[in-house]
Amino acid sequence: MVRAINGGPALPTAKPPRPYEKGVDERPTLIQNVETLAHAAWIHINGAAAFLEEGTRNSPGTALFTILDHHGDCTLIEAPLGMKLIELVELAGIDHHEVARVLLGGWFGGVHGQEVLGLEACFTALKVAGSGLGCASITLLGVNEDVRAIVAALGAWYADETANQCGVCRNGTKSIAKALFNNANGQATDTDLENLARWGTTLTGRGACAFIDGAATLARTTVAVISSKQFMEPRAD
């Protein structure tokens, strides 16, 4: 955004400097989402100590959780960071027994089996688990949903939406999309699955922004999910 305002292409730059160090017209520039600015206003009125009373030590405060369920219904909940994902799901009025898989962080935190619902919904716990809270968007997939087709569609989205600026992202997203497509069509070779698992770690952190990290996390977690003992193909009915 800063680069575009300064007259350049709307593409991420190498960091540092970050915008708060040198941004619009080379001056320190704050870029925050509305939720963060709302927190800042709340803290200004109520004080930092009150904010720290909510959430966990490493992830204080609250977050706006967007929960999209397998019926297509969407619920927005403000809740303290650190609540169990399963508690958020129940708060949204969803029976967790109907949840087969979970996409986290939009889908930048990858796809997971329903056992992930036992984790705390906070930045720290999900990062330790190899995922991420990201924008706090949680998508629940039911037992009848074809997770292979869904992750293949997400892989294609990464390949379409890459800014094509970094070679590792331009080529990596396309390779991941191809392997996920093969997986969805029952044509994945052992090499496809080995590549997905490997790219899931080797590509992380290699781009000018975190976009390729999201594709890598999807690749890695997809292999983990479909290799899981609990993995079931969608029911035919």
Name the residues that contact ligand SF4, by CB under 6 A.
11-12, 162-166, 169-170, 207-209, 211-212
Computed from CA positions of residues 205, 206, 209, 215, in that sequence, does the dihedral angle turn out positive or negative? negative
CB of 225 to ligand SF4, least distance (A): 24
The residue (of 160 and 233) whose beta carbon lies closer to ligand SF4 is: 160
- Name the residue number minimizing CB distance to ligand SF4: 207
3-state DSSP of 116-183:
HHHCECCHHHHHHCCCCCCCCEEEEEECCCCHHHHHHHHHHHHHHHCCCCCHHHHHHHHHHHHHHHHH
Nearest to ligand SF4 of 161, 233 (CB atom): 161
What is the closest distance, in whole angstroms, from the C-beta atom of residue 16 to ligand SF4 in the complex?
Answer: 15
What is the smallest separation between the CB atom of 167 and ligand SF4, expressed in angstroms? 8
Cβ distance to ligand SF4 smaller for residue 162 or 221: 162
Residues in the chain: 237
Cβ at position 17, least distance to ligand SF4 in Å: 16
Residue 140 vs 212, nearer CB to ligand SF4: 212
Tokens for 137? 């968007």
Shorter beta-carbon distance to ligand SF4: residue 119 or 216: 216
Least distance in Å: CB of 233 to ligand SF4?
A: 32
Report the C-alpha gap between 2 and 32 in whole angstroms.
12
How far is the C-alpha of 176 from the C-alpha of 158, rounded, in Å?
Answer: 9
CB 8, min distance to ligand SF4, A: 13
> For ligand SF4, which is the closer residue by CB, 38 or 210?
210
Q: How far is the CB of 9 from ligand SF4 (least distance, A)?
A: 10
Residue 65 or 158: the one with the smaller Cβ distance to ligand SF4 is 158
